[in-house]
């Protein structure tokens, strides 16, 4: 039986419900991104101290990809690394919206975190984000010495649409013969934009991410419907998921993407991949943003970071 919504989470959602804003489809992408960024400021954790932050430029397939290096407070001269792809429906998120998530993950895991500012929809539709995401993973391994990273301890990670990209990169790395990846950490990932499972209907409204917004995200990123069944857009539909890096998939109990996250974990296990699957009870999609207001969200993020630490030890 499903547990009830966390009380702090419920209070936050009630506040969001009273804060009426235009939906993304009713404004320009620039305004939608501004509103998204401003709203998230209200729920971010307090300022998170970090050892060092450095702006990076990655040479991508269509020009420079902005990126950002986060060195944890207790980092040694050389550490493991996480190439992180931000969420936000392939369109709204940015390095800035995820700044505190990067900081927290770096400190909690002890890994250097590289946030990747891949090209976003609708200006750049599929597969632009995938190409940038893969290029960033290659670049990090190629520049491991300069970044003070152990090239044998690199993971990919992401939340929501960023989790989608991390999963896709893990498979592309396998198919392209590199770079080496030691792990993948996927927070409430989008894994199948074609099929709708039960949780999609159960939590379609009132749980932060709603079906109307999700459908808008998909239409911006994948305007050509035939692309939606491409495994580079829906990794759960890939015919072969074997020989992928070990994974931790973290879902939220009250999330419309819950079932496809679980389905992806099951598919990886069936293909022989080592998987740790976690459901954060009482939480909703996007809970990484709410670590400063919801104790259970902070706990879920910290626990996942510890899994990452163990995997990259």
Euclidean distance between CA atoms 238 and 175, whole angstroms: 12
Does residue 234 carry a catalytic annotation?
no
- The single residue of 160, 190, 234, 253 carrying the catalytic annotation is 160
Q: What residue spans of 143-257 are helical by DSSP H?
A: 144-147, 161-176, 198-202, 211-221
In a 10 Å sphere around its CB, with 0-12 CB exposed, 13-18 middle and 19+ buried, how is residue 151 labelled?
Answer: middle
Q: Give the Å distances, CA to CA, from 5 to 13, 203, 281.
A: 10, 12, 8
Helix (H, G, I), strand (E, B), or coil: what is residue 16? helix
Q: Known catalytic residue: 160?
A: yes
Handedness of CA 64, 65, 66, 72 (dihedral sign): negative
Is 255 catalytic? The answer is: yes
DSSP 3: P
Catalytic annotation, pick one of 108, 132, 192, 255:
255
Q: Find where tokens 């990846």 sit.
A: 181
Catalytic positions, written as ranges: 160, 255, 285
């Amino acid at each position: 039986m499903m547990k009830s919504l966390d009380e702090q989470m419920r209070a936050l959602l009630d506040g969001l419900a009273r804060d009426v804003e235009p939906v993304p489809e009713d404004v320009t992408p620039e305004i939608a991104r501004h509103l998204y960024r401003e709203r998230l400021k209200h729920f971010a954790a307090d300022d998170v101290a970090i050892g060092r932050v450095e702006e990076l430029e990655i040479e991508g397939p269509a020009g420079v990809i902005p990126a950002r290096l986060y060195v944890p407070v207790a980092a040694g001269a050389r550490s493991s690394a996480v190439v992180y792809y931000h969420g936000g429906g392939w369109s709204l998120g940015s390095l800035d919206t995820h700044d505190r998530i990067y900081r927290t993950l770096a400190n909690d895991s002890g890994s250097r975190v590289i946030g990747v500012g891949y090209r976003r929809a609708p200006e750049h539709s599929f597969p632009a984000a995938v190409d940038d995401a893969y290029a960033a993973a290659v670049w990090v391994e190629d520049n491991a010495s300069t970044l003070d990273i152990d090239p044998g301890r690199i993971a990919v990670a992401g939340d929501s649409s960023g989790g989608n990209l991390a999963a896709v990169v893990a498979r592309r790395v396998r198919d392209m013969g590199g770079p080496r990846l030691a792990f993948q950490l996927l927070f409430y990932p989008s894994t199948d934009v074609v099929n709708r499972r039960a949780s999609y209907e159960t939590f379609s409204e009132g749980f932060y991410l709603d079906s109307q917004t999700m459908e808008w995200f998909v239409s911006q990123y994948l305007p050509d419907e035939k692309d939606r069944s491409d495994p580079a857009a829906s990794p759960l539909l890939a015919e072969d998921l074997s020989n992928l890096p070990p994974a931790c998939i973290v879902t939220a109990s009250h999330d419309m993407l819950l079932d496809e996250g679980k389905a992806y974990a099951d598919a990886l296990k069936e293909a022989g991949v080592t998987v740790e699957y976690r459901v954060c009870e009482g939480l909703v999609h996007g809970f990484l943003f709410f670590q400063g207001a919801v104790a259970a969200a902070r706990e879920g993020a910290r626990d996942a970071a510890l899994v990452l630490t163990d995997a990259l030890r």
